[in-house]
Amino acid sequence: MNKIKQTVIQIILCVGLIFINQISKAQNSISLSTVNSIVMDFAVPFDPGSSIDPVIDNSKWLNYNITVTPPDLPVSVTAEITSGVISEGLQIQLQAGAYSGTGGGDPGITSGNLILTNIPQVLISNIGTCNTGDGINVGHQLTYTLSISDYSVVKSSFSTMNILFTIIQ
């Protein structure tokens, strides 16, 4: 516990977003957004032996514009760690909030809390033609939670990882 008490563990999440707007079955238009970083630091507990509170960041929003032409199937958004490794004894969860905004269409259904790994997991499913808007307070608010999953193996560390969001059909 002393190692943990004296250490601030920092994770930088570089969020890369891929937006695919399906124009027709034969042609897709792809554009990449800028990379957005967040820094997550554990607060040092005041009492020896006490647990360390999870770190939560909900400052990022996921925005997308999608056109689905029948008989195309609905699309999904997946999330995965594409580079970097989370330190042993830690875990990072991601949750997409319910759709918020004035854009039209069918923005899909969120999947709840995901424990991020290097395997793509569905974050939002059943997305039809929609426009979530652009920027904060529209689309899906992303909540990242960094927590300690195993105190016995946590070591002082600094980790950087990239999380990729992909729209798939």
Note the pLDDT of residue 2: 34
- Please count the structural domains in the chain: 1
CA pair distance 38, 30, nearest whole angstrom: 25
107-161 pLDDT, tens digit per residue, is 999 999 999 999 999 999 999 999 998 889 999 999 999 999 998 998 877 888 8
pTM of the prediction?
0.79
Enter the DSSP assignment of 152.
G
CB distance 114 to 79 below 8 Å: yes
CA pair distance 55, 165, nearest whole angstrom: 21
Nearest to 33 by CA among 22, 44, 21: 21
CB distance 28 to 20 below 8 Å: yes
| Reported confidence tier of residue 70, pLDDT bands at 50, 70, 90 | confident
Largest CA distance in the chain: 62
Domain range spanning residue 157? Answer: 2-168
33-66 pLDDT, tens digit per residue, is 556 788 888 888 888 878 889 999 999 999 999 9
Q: Which two tokens stand for residue 7?
A: 């250490």
Nearest to 77 by CA among 62, 92, 57: 62
